[in-house]
Structure formats: C-alpha cells, structure tokens
Structure 1
C-alpha cells in the first residue's frame, strides 16, 4: 500500500479543485515510481550524481498545446523527493501554451529530480496530449451547440486522470464507471430480446439511473424514444441518417426529454457536419485512446556542488 499522502497543501488544493482525489493520485504516482525503479534504485543517477547535490530544473513544453496534469507532475516530483522538492507553477491546466513555455520549476535533490523525471513527464505529456486533442475537436464544432464527450476507452487505472484531461481541453465526461448510468448496447438488447424489454429491466431495478440506448437503425431510435430513453446513442450513422433521427425525436414529441449522441468512427474532418445535424453530443473515443503525447521536457538550469558519491 502507498505511504500516506505527503503533499504540500497547495498541490492538494490544486488536485481537489481539479475534481481529483489526492489519495488516488498519490497511489497512481506511487505505483508508477515503483514500476520505474524496478524494485531497486536509479543506478545511473546514484552512480553519477553526488548524494548531496541539489538542482533547479524547468519543465518545458517542446511543442504548443493545451496543458493538463501539472499538479500530478508536481506531486510526482514531491513524492519521489520525500518532501524535499519544492515546486513553482508557471502555467495552469487548461492553458494553451506556445512551444518553449516553462510550465513548472522544481528544485531539490538532483538525484530525486532525475529519478522522477520520466514518470512526471509521462503523466504530463500524456494528459496534455489528451487535452490538446480534445481542444481541437471542441474548436472544430464551436458554435454548433454540440458538445464533445469522452468514452470509457481509457487506460486501465488512469481513467480519472484522462477524463480530467478531457475537461482541461474543453470536453465533457460521459459516465465515469459502469455504476453511473446504464448504457444498453447491442449485446444487452440481444440478451433481453429487444430494446423495450432491456429498458424496462433497467428502469425496474435502477429507477433513478439515467438510461442511454445504443441504436444503429432508425426503427431502433423510435423504439428507444417510445420506451423512455433519456439519451440515444446513434452508432455509426452517416450525417443524413443522423438528421432523420433528430427529426424523429422532434416528431415524437421528445425533443426536450431525449438527447442524441453520435458515436462510432468519427473523424475530425467530419465533426462539424455531424454537429450541425442538431445532436447534443459527439462521443469521441480517440481523444483518450489515441491522442499523441505533447512533447515536454526537463532542463536543469542550476546545480549545486557536492562531494563525490560513495558506493
């Protein structure tokens, strides 16, 4: 089990403000650092860097993008440095930064900074990549009234962080877990013998839970709307069919009750055309499962002298 959270109050507050649980973040960081240490020590840094040497380093964006994960990266340096690392925030999550922008300044034992470097940058690069990809989608459909949402296609163990990065990019989160809402998909429909029966079973057992139904044909959309679905997922439908589904919901008198979400093979090039059909959401799995990392690095700019390492 991870040791108790040993994070400065300002970092904890930043995590709380981001909607993240500090204990969860600490556990993820602890596991990542343990993985990188491999049950031993950072043999390069222990051999090369004097034990009492201190350093000041900057975390720098090598490419332009939207930043996400600064409190997580900062916490990684602090945890690896056993509270001997100090952090100065020079940017904020959700901020669009140019290439070359300094994001954090960290100071403390040089060995600790080097040991934490890759883990901290992995978090920051990955989450900033998600935020940057999300921001591109959000910009593409600006003014349409539609919203970009994520999916559960996330890295196991990192869902809370990745969905936070989506929010930093201007997107919204779909359900965080299987317990948050019901999503009746094709296999559920087959198991129940139909949409209406599947919907009725969910509503009977979990009357307060929002229910979404996945549909790939217009007759299914009509059945889902009549059953009382609050959200219908239009799966792999071309824009022309999506427009028909929007009109169908309106004609059935459910426009204010039932929202529509489009999913399945969406590309950035077609995003605006889909958003302009009148749907409320575009569900984009690629913003989490396929976002390129944002290039970030760590540069030492001051190193204090110390005696040679022993052993």
Structure 2
C-alpha cells in the first residue's frame, strides 16, 4: 500500500481509506472481517461520521474492532461531525462539536480520535466557537488532528484566522466522472463549455498551497450519488480504456480508476466505501501501479472531456 506522510498530520497514512458509511449492513463478525481485510491490504485509516447510520456505523466498528486482533495504535480513526439530518440542519457550534466528538468516542470505544473533520459547512458557523471546541478537544487528548470536509478556500481562511491547530485534511468529491476539482483550470476562460466554471473557488490549488491533503470521496461514482461508472453502459469509452489499462497492469477497472486519482501530484487519498472484501482487495491493487502522464490524460478524455 502506498503511504502518505500528511503535513502536520498522521504519518504513514494509507493512500486508500476505508469509508465505513455502509458498515451497519454487516454483522459484528463480518465487520471485523472487513476491518481485518483492510488492514491486510495495508489500509490503516478508517473514515466515519456521526451521521452514518445515525451513529450505527461507529457503533458497529467499535464492537467489531476488538475481534480483529489489531492494536488501537496501529490504526488511524477519523470521524466527522456537524450533519444532523434528523434536525434538518448542519451545526458547527462549540457545544455540538464537543458533544458529537464525545458520542463518537463512546460508539467507537476509544479514548481518542486521530482525526476529527467538520462535515459540510454550517452556514451560521462562528469560527471562534470552532476554535474553542478544537482547543478543548486537543487539550483533553480526545482529538489529535483536525480538518474539514467539503469546505471552500474562503471558509478555510476564516477558520484559520481563529483555529490554532493545522487543518490537515479536506474531504472533497473527485472521480473520473466528477472532475470539477480540475476542470476549471483546464477550460479557463472558455465560453464554449460550462466546465470552465470554477465551482469551488479553486479549492484544489488552495489545498496544495497550504499543505492540506485532499481525501477524494465517492471515487468510483458518477453524479453525486448516481452509482458506479465501472461497467456501466452509459460510459462505454471510459470502460474500454479502463479495461485496456487494467489488462496492461493486471488490475481491475476499479483499481485503474483509483490509480488515476492517486497519480495526481496533489498526493490525494481515495475513500473506498465498499463493504465487499474482494472488491476492496481489487481497489487496493491501485497502489501497486503508477499511471504514466499520457495514460492519466487518456482516462480523463475517455470520461467525456476534451482538450480545449
């Protein structure tokens, strides 16, 4: 497994992350097998959120982890807070951050989180309250590193004005279909396509400039939650090229798609959300290859883009 030394954050973190959103569908024993399989493949970072299964994902992981034989210090446990679909609001208030972190620790059956991310932005957030919560969590030893998810450069700057701790991650959507992180630069000043519209205020370049590691969520998805583009009939050209490169490198189409993300010099991580051990093994093979510059562009163009 390719490892990444995150600036100001976890060292030797796996390039592929296991996203645990779907873990409530597994029994405790199956969840333990999934965690163990991830570890055997070199994955050491496990991603959670308070909203995944209304906390059930964290609970299942917390119940399963003792069955794996793994040591707590050998894994990186990350969770996210702020989304409350039951209340129909996002909340980054001091009290909610603190109570959410405490609840995650109880469900995960651990004394500390390696990483806590603020999930999608609370439009009413007070950065001074966020700073107070982060300080309290760090001082108590309950959270070691902090970051965000789906947050723009302007919001990051506002947070950084008050928050003392480095913001080491930004979790953003990125896949061969969802390429808006990079399209704006490719089609800059081009009125012939709406791909020239910069939809995120240049967050990729901002993160690279400020040593914030991007974690790509839904790396095999089309649309926001449209499904997997691998072997999907709506993506014939992309699947043809994925298949050709898969044969060349003796890896699956899914692994080629993940390798495309890992090839980017921003040194991103990819969040794999599968709860199928065989599928996870296929995906992890992505770290064994490094696509060429030309192959990276070949895949980008096969996904429906063009050179301006």
Given the two structures, how large is their TM-score scaled by the length of structure 1?
0.29
- The structure, 1 or 2, with the larger RCO (C-alpha pairs under 8 Å, 6+ apart) is 1
